[in-house]
């Protein structure tokens, strides 16, 4: 059936003030809605982390202390910090209040503030994931744009992508280390000193991500190239590359953006292994150490923090959609 509604919208005086106001209104209410639901998700994550502490078997003090033997002083400090002598609801509100102020408590294993610990490790991880994201996007866009709809290049690229997707990133990391660091000595073996030390970890993390995104992007490009508008653009005398880059890529990027958003969230857990292989500092390493050392305050903080990252990413993806497809901006449903 034909939809009456969009056609009707067309009949409104276009560009009239009411239309613009409505557009802004719907855009802002959408952004506010997204932020609101993000806040709910974060609150749920915080509450779950608090509940898990209460439900876990054993004494909370022992849980929070981790691997160490609790001395009376430490025990007293924990009791004071968490308000363990007070009723459960007060403890919970206190916990919420603290986290609202960016205070994730103290790690008794590492003898430091969890917040400053995480913030100090955040930068190396962000550096690694954004570098991996750049690798992934460059790889995906290049591979998809150059091979979409072309029989043999397409087959070759698909095969290469399949290999990359099915290769575990740590193994790819080891191979890259062996070839480029040990044999060719082009890049450092480990550490996080300069840009060149970022290249191999970013490749090992980003290539498999790029391979997945590239497959979706290529499919989208091929669909777009079959659309009637592609024929129109060609009939203007535009080159094939112009058609692909200026017109079709935007159409193809809609599903790819969603996928990338989710995968980037997953990179944080993927980063754990890569950081280990390349001996880099970062959140992944902190998480592993905390889990092994039963350092519960850090583990809880990491859990809440990853919820935050997913919320931010999915909000960004939604807004990117509005940016990419103008048709979504004016529809109310």
Partner 1 sequence: MNSPRPFLYIRNLTIRFPGPNGPTEVVRGLDLTVYPGESVALVGESGSGKSVTARALIGLAGTYADVKADVFEINGEDVLQYRERDWRRLRGSKIGFVLQDALVSLDPLRRIGQQLSDAFGERQDLPAKYDRSLDILQSVGIKDPERRLSQYPHQLSGGLRQRALIATAIAQQPSLVIADEPTTALDVTVQRQVLDLLKQRQRAGNTLLIISHDLSVVSQLADQVLVMRNGEVVEQGKTAEVLSGPSHPYTRQLLDAIPTASSRGYRLSPVALEHSDEISLIAPAAAPNVRIALPQKQIDAGRHVLVVDRLQKRYGRSTTGPLAVNNVSFELAAGEALGIVGESGSGKTTVAKMVLGLVDPDAGNVWINGQPWSRMDESQRRPHRAGIQLIAQDSLSSFDPRYNVEKLIGESLDAVGIFGDNRRRRVLEVLDAVRLGPTFLNRHPRELSGGQRQRVAIARAFAPRPQLLVADEPVSALDVSIQAQVLDLLAELQAEFGASLLFISHDLGVVHHLTDKVIVMKAGQVVESGDVEKVFAGPRHSYTQELLAARPSLN
Residue 78: strand, helix, or coil:
helix
Q: Where are the beta strands (DSSP E) in 6-109?
A: 106-107
Stretch 192-231: interaction string toward partner 1, x if CB under 8 A = -----------------------------------xxx-x
Distance, CA of 329 to CA of 65 (rounded, Å): 51
**Smaller CB distance to partner 1: residue 33 or 168?**
33
**14 to 53, contacts with partner 1 by CB under 8 A?**
14-15
Return the residue of 247, 261, 280, 298 that touches partner 1, per CB under 8 A.
Answer: 247
Least gap, CB of 15 to partner 1 (angstroms): 6
Q: Is 209 exposed, middle or buried (0-12, 13-18, 19+ CB in 10 A)?
A: buried
Owner of token pair 């939809």 = 3
Selected binder of partner 1 within 239, 266, 292, 312 (CB under 8 A): 239
CA angle 49, 55, 58 (to 5 degrees): 115
Establish if 126 lies at the interface with partner 1 (CB under 8 A): no
Q: In the bound complex, what is the minimum distance in angstroms from residue 216's beta carbon to partner 1?
A: 18
Helix axes 249-277, 296-324, angle to 10 degrees: 160
Q: Whole-number minimum distance, CB 253 to partner 1, in Å?
A: 10
Which of residues 141, 203, 221, 233 is near partner 1 by CB under 8 A? 233
The binding track of 306-325 with respect to partner 1, each residue x by CB under 8 A or -, is ------------------xx
Residue 96: C-alpha distances to residues 78, 90, 103, 107, 109 (Å): 17, 10, 10, 18, 23
- Residues 253-292 close enough to bind partner 1 by CB under 8 A: none
Query: What are the Cα distances from residue 329, in Å, to 101, 161, 288, 306, 308?
Result: 35, 34, 43, 29, 26
Residues that bind partner 1 (CB under 8 A): 1-8, 10-11, 14-15, 227-229, 231-240, 242, 246-247, 250-251, 324-327, 330, 332-333
């Amino acid at each position: 059936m034909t939809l009456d509604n969009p056609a009707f919208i067309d009949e409104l005086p276009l560009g009239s003030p009411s239309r613009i106001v409505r557009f802004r209104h719907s855009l802002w209410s959408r952004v506010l809605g997204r932020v609101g639901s993000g806040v709910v998700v974060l609150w749920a994550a915080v509450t779950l982390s608090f509940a898990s502490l209460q439900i876990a078997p054993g004494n909370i003090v022992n849980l929070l202390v981790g691997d160490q033997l609790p001395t009376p002083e430490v025990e007293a400090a924990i009791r004071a910090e968490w308000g363990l002598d007070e009723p459960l609801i007060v403890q919970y509100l206190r916990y919420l209040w603290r986290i609202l102020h960016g205070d994730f408590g103290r790690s008794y294993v590492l003898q430091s503030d969890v917040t400053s610990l995480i913030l100090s490790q955040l930068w190396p991880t962000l550096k690694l994931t954004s570098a991996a994201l750049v690798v992934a996007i460059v790889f995906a866009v290049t591979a998809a744009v150059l091979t979409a709809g072309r029989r043999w290049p397409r087959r070759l690229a698909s095969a290469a992508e399949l290999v990359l997707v099915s290769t575990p990133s740590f193994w790819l990391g080891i191979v890259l280390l062996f070839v480029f660091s040990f044999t060719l000595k082009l890049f450092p073996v480990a550490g996080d000193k300069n840009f060149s030390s970022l290249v191999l970890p970013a490749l090992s993390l980003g290539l498999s991500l790029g391979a997945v995104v590239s497959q979706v992007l290529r499919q989208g490009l091929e669909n777009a190239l079959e659309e009637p508008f592609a024929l129109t653009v060609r009939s203007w005398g535009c080159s094939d590359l112009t058609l692909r880059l200026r017109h079709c890529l935007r159409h193809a990027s809609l599903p790819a953006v969603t996928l990338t958003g989710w995968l980037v969230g997953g990179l944080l857990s993927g980063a754990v292994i890569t950081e280990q292989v390349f001996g880099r500092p970062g959140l992944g390493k902190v998480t592993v150490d905390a889990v092994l050392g039963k350092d519960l305050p850090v583990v809880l903080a990491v859990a809440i923090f990853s919820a935050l990252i997913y919320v931010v990413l999915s909000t960004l993806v939604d807004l990117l959609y509005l940016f990419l497809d103008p048709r979504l901006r004016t529809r109310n449903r």
